[in-house]
Structure 1
């Protein structure tokens, strides 16, 4: 059986010694797209757009710092604690979505307290562009031929020559499509239902759908942590459990809590 071969060049274009990578381009596109979605939401709710400026800056910083620290401390703590300056070497790659999620939440909490805005109200709205952000990031991983799946014989298996010549699950595609679907579902809930009035509901649905999918996809993903997992679950799955528990609590409490 012939399988699809994915051998995309991770560099979008080069000019002399200067290069733009697909991952960096898509990461920037993810941020810009998130800004546009939040701009639409604020205009839709007739809120002052200028309130978004500092919020978006805090969140970008929170995502990048949290994702980098998450990768270093969750997936290879021994190496990075022995070589702390390597934590700053973001250009070498290594961002963890769980850490990015925690960073974004903490940045939002800081902004909410500083600006006296309802914390869950913000998280509900931010969940929508965050799903789109995650879609672009996973497409970036695909362009880098990184975060690959385990070997498989399914018809849609993909060969990543930059990794090896085994047929593997295209887990980057699984996740990217999942996050794009979540984005459209959350957008529909926000636009066409009254659930956005229940503080924490949209954010709870976001966490439940994203981390349920992440938990299941991890079964066909090559383990990324540099240490052994426990309970037959890998690091990505173990880190997903707290988010899943939080999602259930948010959805349950949102039924009786108005924003």
Structure 2
């Protein structure tokens, strides 16, 4: 068996005695920047001003971080954070009677997704922009950013999978000596694959002049993949052990149905427009 023994230090170096620079943070930032570059290219191709995208980026960053943090606190550890509310939005933790900087040790991707929705909705209301058009565009940046975040999770030896007897197993030595599914890598590679699918769909005639189809496709693909990969993951919190599905799976289901609803609705609108155009030409 070619088991990989993983014992990489998640800290690159210490900026100060209490402020570490970690691989997770670097991957997080790089993923956001790369996603921005991809969406920026689309704005340029469609003759949109970059200033509009720069404003949107600020909303998305705030929505992602706040949503992911609040999602973790309320979905996974509500009891703890209701008793320690100061730790929800401050990167600190009480250790031995005093607070220390630890970074945000807990970000939930489903919460981040909800945060992005809310941030984009607020942006569109303020700048009078079509919501589905914006969501179609950022759809290309999200899977890239998500893939980089999962690479960061791998560097942190966190969100790993259940034990496996396969030769692809990874021993996360900072946690235990059991070969496990590297579910962080599974997710990252699937997200990159989804990005490729979205590019193909984007070039097809089915999405021309119809906003929302790409976004619906994205929701279905990403959260269906997330739902099935969760079967290989260890539960993040103890209460999930008594549930038929884990929290990640329960939270993925509404997004899958939302994607189906958006796609069906927009495809029907597209078909109605096409029929109307044909009738108009006949007249």
TM-score (norm 1): 0.94
Partner in structure 1 of residue 144 of structure 2: 132
Greater shift after overlay, 230-239 or 142-151?
230-239
- 1:15-56 deviation line (CA, Å, top 9, x unaligned): 563532101111111111121112101001011111112111
Shift in Å, 1:6: 1.6
Q: Please say if 1:113 is aligned against 2:125.
A: yes
- Distance in 1 (CA, whole Å) between partners of 2:174 and 2:269 is 50
Matched residue of 2:268: which SS?
coil
Cα distance 1:188–1:13, how it changes in 2: closer, same or farther (>3 A)?
Answer: farther
Cα distance, 1:11 vs. partner? Answer: 1.6
Q: C-alpha distance in 2, partners of 1:182/1:228?
A: 28
Equivalenced residues, count: 259
Q: Distance in 2 between matches of 1:164 and 1:36?
A: 39
In structure 2, the partner of 1:63 is: 64
CA deviations 1:106-143 (Å, max 9, x no partner) are 00001111111111111111111001110010000000
User: 2:248 matched to which residue of 1?
Assistant: 236
Pairing of 1:62-101 with structure 2 (within 5 A) = 62-90=63-91, 91-101=103-113
SS in 1 for 2:135: helix
Maintained 8 Å contact 2:69/2:104: no
Q: Structure 2, unaligned stretches of length 5 or more?
A: 92-102, 274-283
Secondary structure of 2:13's counterpart equals: strand
Where do 1:134-173 residues align within 5 Å? 134-173=146-185
Secondary structure class of the residue paired with 1:256: helix
SS at match of 1:46: coil
CA distance in structure 2 between the partners assigned to 1:199 and 1:226 by the alignment: 41
User: Could you tell me how far 1:157 is from its partner in structure 2?
Assistant: 1.0
Does the CA contact (< 8 Å) of 1:35 and 1:56 recur in 2? yes
Hey, what's the Cα distance between the residues in 2 that align with 1:57 and 1:177? 27
| RMSD, aligned α-carbons | 1.7
Normalising by structure 2, we get a TM-score of 0.87
Max Rg structure: 2
1:32 counterpart residue number:
33
| Higher mean C-alpha deviation, range 162-171 or range 79-88 | 79-88
Runs of 4+ in 1 over 6 A off after TM superposition: none
The 2-side partners of 1:204 and 1:210 are apart by 10
Distance in 1 (CA, whole Å) between partners of 2:240 and 2:194 is 31
Secondary structure at the residue paired with 2:139?
helix
Q: CA deviation at 1:193?
A: 4.2
Deviates more, 1:34-43 or 1:225-234: 225-234
